[in-house]
Amino acid sequence: MPFGACSSKHKGLAQVGQANRGRRGLPFLAVSLTVQTMKELLRTTDIVVISALKAALSAEGIEAFEFDGDIASIYAGIDSFPRRLMVRTEDFDPAAEVARALCPDHVQ
């Protein structure tokens, strides 16, 4: 098979790829992004508190995102790099209620 030729199995994919070429001949992908604002719910070095709160929020249907976990894992013994638990702005009030009930000494 010559260079650049497609087998019959992949011919349809090659045609789709040709149809989706940008102005420089490179394939492009249409991506739609939604920007959502987030608020910090909790900042701590205690992994157990983060894990328990993520589970409690998940049970309530609130999605929580852990920030700075990678750097905190690298410098595990140092309290200089706390992990942050973030929630979407519209979920902040119900998430704060759950956090106050579960770990009142970690939440403002």
Higher pLDDT, residue 26 or 7: 26
Average pLDDT of the chain, as a whole number: 77
Q: Could you tell me the pTM of the whole model?
A: 0.62
pLDDT in tens, 1-24: 444 444 444 444 444 445 555 556
The 3 state secondary structure assigned to 43-63 is EECCHHHHHHHHHHHHHCCCC
Nearest CA to 47 out of 92, 85, 11 is that of: 85
The residues spanned by each domain of the chain are: 38-102
What is the CATH architecture assignment of 38-102? 2-Layer Sandwich (3.30)
